[in-house]
Amino acid sequence: MSMRNNYLVGVMLWVLPLIALAANDVSAASKPNIIVVMADDMGWGDSATYGHQTIKTPNLDKLAAQGVKFTQGYSAAGVCSPARSAILTGRTPYRNGVWRHLSGSHKAHLRASEITYPTLFKQAGYTTGHFGKWHLLSKQQFHKEGYPHPDDHGFDYWFATQNNAVPSHKNPNNFIRNHQPVGELKGYSAPLVADEAIKWIEQGRDASKPFIMSVWFHEPHKPIATDIKFSELYPNENAVNKKYFGNITQMDFALGKIMDVLDEQNLSDNTLIMFLSDNGPVVGVGGNSGGLRGQKRNDFEGGIRVPFVVRWPSHIDAGSVNDTPIIGSDIFSTVLAVGGIAAPSDRKIDGVNFLPALEGKELNRSTPLFWRTHVSPAEDRVAMRIGDWKIVGNDTLTEFMLFNVQEDWQEKNNLATKMPEKLNTMKAKLIETWEDIKTDGPNQWWENETNPPRKGATLNY
């Protein structure tokens, strides 16, 4: 029996009990469509929607004007792969096993034993598609059979790269479509991804079923390449900003193409769209954290607070703004609630359905908002937020900072020495939460492995 067949047999052992979720027939007319759109390394301040005075993002602006803008939306990690794994599983990264970014040949990956929302939606009668970056396998694993690829995690159709667009956003040559290499494509990554997604919406999907899809853009992750028609929108900027600002607009243009086809196909009113970034920006190449402390790879706000916009006509008040803290892992529970699908009961789900927050209701979390980013500097390797309060700990969990981030959103005022009782309460909960998470995940993948940031190195993830 082949490695792939062995893998499929193993998957069926946990899939079969879930098939009962598809007992009720669904139709495209009765169930909402769902699209999760994600930018790569886009900062909280990298759009007009979130206050940038120069960058043009008319389509994200439109999405927010037609839905809700969350001002305290978070990624589940300060780097890419872990944040993506949490979205699909509802489980914090160290619990689901994708504890680090996945590059050349690392053994970590999104395991077959993890249950993703596309799998559950597929069993419930949806058709499913993934378009763009994947980054939930190492490069070596992505080009081998026997490891779980997007179709093994519930996607009927997929068009993806393992990590970044290569050699850049221009004319990428590393896309795989349903296990088949595509070869060099002419154009720029985000519009190419959008075009593939649109083709699937218009022609490729089973139109008798509702659909759920991921559109995970590569922009503005480096190596950046920007169509001149977008960089020329910023004639008064230096070369770095022209390229970066234009790259954001290039991605926004691709988002607009998808929004337009939903209108043309009369799908907009019955489609929930979520837009967010996988983590914070790289400031040195033009990224903007909007005044937050830190950037990508930090567990300070600049590394984890991201743009987070949701549109669902007739269900979400147009033009609303909400400051409830939500996190990427909440997407899992939220889309399941929207689809009327039960969550798995055999494992800990950390995310919650955030839609009640739109009605002013409190979100009841069994797991606090929690971050541990393996490449964060030692001083902010781990963080946790409960209510207005956030604790930030070092790599050995021996030194801590305390912030009221609702009031001190730039994390300028460390209250650890002024409020020792609050610090001790938060510290105890942080350690308890970490112990629960690390003993639940495949800790053999990270024990005795250290990955400190390399001073002066160029980190291409």
Q: Which of 228, 261, 263, 222 is nearest to 242 (CA)?
A: 228
Q: In what order do the strands lie in the sheet with 389-393?
A: 369-372, 382-386, 389-393, 400-404
**Distance in angstroms (rounded) separating the CA atoms of residues 108 and 194:** 29
Of 101, 106, 130, 135, which is the active-site residue?
Answer: 135
411 in the Ramachandran plot: left (φ > 0), alpha (ψ -120 to 50) or beta?
left
User: What is the CB neighbour count within 10 angstroms for residue 377?
Assistant: 16
**Distance in angstroms (rounded) separating the CA atoms of residues 458 and 176:** 26
Question: Does 130 participate in catalysis according to the annotation?
Answer: no
Q: Which of 456, 385, 409 is nearest to 301 (CA)?
A: 409
Q: Which of 123, 150, 145 is nearest to 134 (CA)?
A: 150
Question: Does 143 participate in catalysis according to the annotation?
Answer: no
Of 80, 101, 149, 169, which is the active-site residue?
Answer: 80
Beta-strand (E) ranges in 255-413? 271-277, 308-311, 320-322, 326-327, 369-372, 382-386, 389-393, 400-404
Please state at what angle helix 239-264 crosses helix 58-65, rounded to 10 degrees. 50
Q: Which of 387, 382, 417, 305 is nearest to 92 (CA)?
A: 382
Question: Residues with catalytic annotation?
Answer: 80, 135
